[in-house]
Amino acid sequence: MYTVCCDCGLEHHESVDYACRSCSGILLPAYEKTAATPLHETELNGIWKYHRYLPPVPKEYRVYMGEGTTPLIPSVSLGAKLGIGELYFKYEGGNPTGSYKDRIAAMGLSWARAAGRTACIGTTSGNAGAAVAAYAGRAGMPYHLYVLEHMAEAKLAQVLVHKAQVRKVKEFGTNPEVGELVFQRIFQAAVKRNWEVMITAYRYNPYAMEGVKTIAFELFEQLKGVPSHIYTPVGGGGLYCGIWKGFDELQADARSDGMPHLVAVQPEGCSNIVKAYKAGSPVPLDGPSSTSISGLQVPNPPDGKLVLQVMHKGGGSAVSVEDSMIWEAQELLAEQEGIFCEPAAAASVAGLIQTCRDGIDRSAMRIVCIVSGTGFKDSRRLSDMTQNLTVPCLEVSELDI
Ligand SMILES: *Cc1c(COP(=O)(O)O)cnc(C)c1O
Ligand SMILES: [Zn+2]
């Protein structure tokens, strides 16, 4: 494995860097492989099936607890209504801690163990913290986590269950200067103490993020080919980039002969990448976040530049949706498809519904929506969804059957 800078193209072959030595740009791992290298190893499970396409970690350091190999669920209702040839949901809520972040945590903690790190440290909007806390517990590594003052309750509880050392930081997430300081202190501490920085973006940890690519490999194997379109929610941008990178490597190795069109979906209230895409800007546009969708409130998306690189090369596009449309999509998935996901995860489906208003014929398309996390992640939304539904309580003599 070596790494390539996404800005200046400089290759780093010797030691392990987390940012470009020349321009501080984002590094993307690359691999020496031959066409004869099989994509997956049948006797291995989860992300490790694809270890030849992942940063090298000796077997004894790999952390595994059932992440990956998530179901690709065919739509029974929405696809037909929208006139789509084939519509599927890649349901990531089935991962051990309930979101696709487990793929990153499995890769990152394994990498950290192999590198002899003694702890890991990071920030989170919720799901990454839950995933890293669980995998750090399993890897026997302390986890120091700094979070926003108002983190989604169920996600904070999940972090606490796994006994991560959590600190809330006042004004973190609202005051950009505070954010900057927190990141600086985290990096200083990590270098000084030989800790791994577990922040889920290629910008901060390109090795851990390679775990996301396994979504692309699984889709390719499950569909026996490349879908025409993939809709994905976008917060920091790492999920989008990882999926793109996976398909790009399949194509580069001549396993596939095409790329999917990747649609990034953001809530209107935090649509910095959508606005940049429409304006032709290479970097996300500044602006505060006003969306209430937990997980997608990322005013400065760390991998935003990479996402926009993909789009400006013709590999994808971007669409924004109102929070209310995301909630409707979440309800629709639960009622008509049987899939209960968190609002951030339903954003992909809301984006698809929004795009389909253009009336284009989609009968020959094969579309996948990434449904990135389970519904139990957002307890406030869960009670909002159900509080007006009354459940009658009957005497046995009154049974209405
Ligand atoms: C983190 C997360 C996202 C956004 O992923 P990014 O890599 O930050 O763009 C979407 N959905 C869920 C459930 C998440 O946990
Ligand atoms: Zn560079």
Neighbours of ion ligand 2 (CB under 5 A): 5, 7-8, 10, 20, 22-23, 25
- Find the ligand nearest to 232 CA: 1
Angle at which helices 127-139 and 153-161 cross, to 10°: 10
CATH number of 72-99+208-385: 3.40.50.1100
Residue 214 pLDDT > 90: yes
Residue 370 CA to residue 24 CA, distance in Å, equals: 31
* Lookup: tokens for 193: 């103490």
CA distances from 316 to 241, 265, 308 (A): 11, 11, 9
Q: What is the pLDDT of residue 35?
A: 67
29 CA → ligand 2 middle, Å: 13
Pocket lining for ligand 1, CB < 6 angstroms: 99, 101, 127, 233-240, 295, 342, 344-345, 372-373
* Burial class of residue 280 (count of CB atoms within 10 Å of its CB; 0-12, 13-18, 19+): exposed
- Average pLDDT in the 381-398 region? 91
What SS3 class is residue 5?
Answer: strand
Q: What is the pLDDT of residue 338?
A: 98
Q: Categorize the per-residue pLDDT at 194 as very low, low, confident or very high, splitting at 50, 70 and 90.
A: very high
Most confident of 149-163, 172-186, 358-372: 358-372
- Find the ligand nearest to 17 CA: 2
Work out which ligand 1 atom sits closest to the CA atom of 236: 8
Contact status, residue 372 vs residue 94, Cβ threshold 8 Å:
no
- What DSSP assignment string belongs to 156-200? HHHHHHTT-EEEEETTTTT-HHHHHHHHHHHHHHHHHHT-EE--S
Q: What is the pLDDT of residue 16?
A: 86
Domain assignments of the chain as residue spans, ordered by start:
72-99+208-385
Q: Pick the closest to residue 376 from 72, 70, 158 (CA basis).
A: 158
Q: What is the pLDDT of residue 34?
A: 67
Q: Categorize the per-residue pLDDT at 289 as very low, low, confident or very high, splitting at 50, 70 and 90.
A: confident
Q: Categorize the per-residue pLDDT at 38 as very low, low, confident or very high, splitting at 50, 70 and 90.
A: confident
234 CA → ligand 1 middle, Å: 6
Quick: pLDDT tens for 315-349.
999 999 999 999 999 999 999 999 999 999 999 99
Residue 279 pLDDT > 90: yes
Q: Which stretch of 59-63, 173-177, 178-182 has the lowest confidence by average pLDDT?
A: 173-177
Residue 33 pLDDT > 80: no
